[in-house]
Amino acid sequence: MKKRTLLSMAMVATMALATFTGCGGSREGAATTDTAAETTEEAETTEASAEESFPGFEDGATIGVSLPWLGTQNWKEAEEMFTAQLEEAGYKPIVQAADQKVTQQQQQIESMIENGAKVIVVGPVDGSQLGAVLEQAKEAGVYVIGYDRLLENTSGVDGVVQFGSVKTGELQAQALLQGLEEKKGEAPYNIELFGGGPADPNAPNFFTGAMSVLQPKIDDGTLVVVSGQTDFTQCATVDWDNAKAQSRMDSLLAGNYSDKEIDGVLSPNDGIARAIITSCENAGQEIPVVSGLDAENESVEWVWSGRQYSTVAKPTNDLVAKTIEIIDSLKAGNGMPATDVEVDNGVKNVRVYELPPVVVTKDNAKEVFANDPSRLELLK
């Protein structure tokens, strides 16, 4: 168990025994004095060595789930699956979405604390803006699990469940290179780069992973970023907004490709991929090789038909199931399961439970979705 430093207390000389716990059922370990003669220094030493405890909780407990929005298929699936699977597991779920508004998410989390949630699962709108309310949850004895995105700059988080974000970017870039070789003949290839929403801590990781694969090919001339825009800040798409991505693509094509063909585009997710492809079609360009993410139904159909070259599957059901597995462990008093991965969130090292993403192209789509009847039905 990791150790936490506890708040120091002045010893009262007339007391034979002093016991303390954090306010509102805080999960801090408790330290006691054996005699009134024990010195303050000795008490502080005992306090500093007290270990974090993970008390369990009762059947039928309330579990809060705060999602950033429902604007993409994966988040809508998460809302439905958390509601159904938490109920099936015997919990009382409160599942809400924040419509991409940080203040709304803060208020939802506060309400979940007030309603007695034992665990709150948070897919943050902005992973760096929830510190104060998550500290409130910690002080109230509530476990906090980050879902799909890291919760940054706070000690009020117990772990994060997500797919490997850097690995996801690597897969997107590898698929882009593969598609260029298959579809566009010999190098060099003209490409452009898109990133996700800068408030999402996964987005720069996706981009970093992708550029670890693409940058050497840019350096040796295999890839040419015609616009010259290669920094994440230049390529990011605020709020993951498809319309903003399409507008940027329109501008890139008008400003750089009046006499050139665009061969490929790194896209951070499926909605943006479809916006990029639509922009290219409107400009009279041949459809470039475009990556994606989330295996949204429409993009699965586009991959199968050849309009979109690839996507990356991050099955929501697997992510929800892993989260509930952790909640079950906490309920039983067994604490957070062991993991080999920890990430510094700016305040503490956070346990991360990573699941493996899978790249999907037309060649392997039926294999990837063999156990997903709804998506398999799309491959006709």
Second-level CATH architecture of 165-314: 3-Layer(aba) Sandwich (3.40)
Are the beta carbons of 73 and 314 closer than 8 angstroms? no
Q: Phi and psi dihedrals of 197, rounded to 5?
A: -70, 130
Identify whether the C-beta of residue 294 lies closer than 8 Å to the C-beta of residue 73.
Answer: yes
Give CA–CA dist 123/229, Å, rounded. Answer: 30
Predicted confidence at residue 52, as pLDDT, reads: 57
pLDDT of residue 229: 98
State the pLDDT at residue 170.
98
Q: What is the pLDDT of residue 26?
A: 54
Using DSSP bridges, classify how beta strands 349-355 and 159-163 pair: parallel, antiparallel or unpaired: parallel
Please count the other Cβ atoms lying within 10 Å of the Cβ belonging to residue 27: 19
> In this predicted structure, what is the pLDDT of residue 33?
34
The pTM of this model reads 0.82
In the CATH scheme, what is the code of domain 62-157+315-355? 3.40.50.2300
β-strand partners of 343: 350
Q: Please state, rounded to an integer, the average pLDDT across all residues of the chain.
A: 89
Q: What is the pLDDT of residue 380?
A: 87
Low-confidence ranges of the chain (pLDDT < 50): 1-24, 28-51
Rg of the Cα trace of the chain?
24
Q: How far apart are CA 308 and CA 305, in angstroms?
A: 8
Judge if 62-157+315-355 and 165-314 fold alike in CATH terms.
yes
Sketch the domain layout of the chain as residue ranges.
Answer: 62-157+315-355, 165-314
